[in-house]
Amino acid sequence: MKGSYILLIEAKKDMNIIIGKLGKIFFKKGFYVYIGSALNSLESRINRHLRSNKKIHWHIDYLLKYGDIIDVFYKENLKREECKISGEFEKKLHFLKGFGCSDCKCNSHLFYGTYDEIINIIKKLKMKKYTFNENT
């Protein structure tokens, strides 16, 4: 399966985290949404994000050491749609400049908002809920 995905992440407290070359970033307690794509194996990419023991590779890996993924959504597609999806979140939510978008022209692929705001956008995008694998 190929396509795009959304990680819904909860930060249970305010925190400062060093995010690779972006440096130290302040994260408010609350809900974040990260948008990515995988044109090789969507399931493998999502399951990698869900694992706690992994090599730090992407910006999101730094955040996931401290935040909890509470839900995952996906959309099958043969082309990258993460920038289009990010644009929908950018219209309504706050974003962290430069996060997760070093390979495109987006402002960000990480957004902050209320749980309800995030879920409403996901519903409009008609993304499917990902069923977590118990072995992840």
| pLDDT tens track for 66-93 | 999 999 999 999 998 999 999 999 999 9
Does residue 19 belong to any structural domain of this protein? yes
Q: List residues bridging with 111 in a β-sheet.
A: 33, 95
Does residue 66 belong to any structural domain of this protein? yes
**Are 35 and 103 spatial neighbours (Cβ–Cβ below 8 Å)?**
no
Does residue 135 belong to any structural domain of this protein? no
pLDDT at 135 over 70: no
| pLDDT tens track for 40-68 | 899 999 999 999 889 998 999 999 999 99
Does residue 92 belong to any structural domain of this protein? yes
Q: Name the domain count of the chain.
A: 1
At a CB cut-off of 8 Å and minimum separation 6, what does 13 contact? 29
Q: Which two tokens stand for residue 5?
A: 């995905």
pLDDT at 102 over 90: no
pLDDT at 5 over 50: yes
Instruction: Show the CA angle centred on residue 126, arms to residues 122 and 128, nearest 5°.
Output: 85
pLDDT at 16 over 80: yes
Which range marks the domain in which residue 13 is found? 3-129
d(CA 78, CA 109): 19
Q: What is the mean pLDDT of residues 13-30?
A: 96
Q: What is the mean pLDDT of residues 30-37?
A: 97
pLDDT at position 131 is: 86
Does residue 117 belong to any structural domain of this protein? yes
- Could you tell me the sign of the dihedral formed by the alpha carbons of 111, 115, 121, 127, in that order? positive
pLDDT at position 82 is: 94
Does residue 37 belong to any structural domain of this protein? yes
- State residue 7 phi and psi, 5-degree precision: -100, 125
What's the mean pLDDT when you consider all of the chain?
A: 94
Does residue 59 belong to any structural domain of this protein? yes
pLDDT at position 87 is: 97
Compute the CA torsion angle 90, 29, 51, 71 (nearest 10 deg): -60
Does residue 136 belong to any structural domain of this protein? no
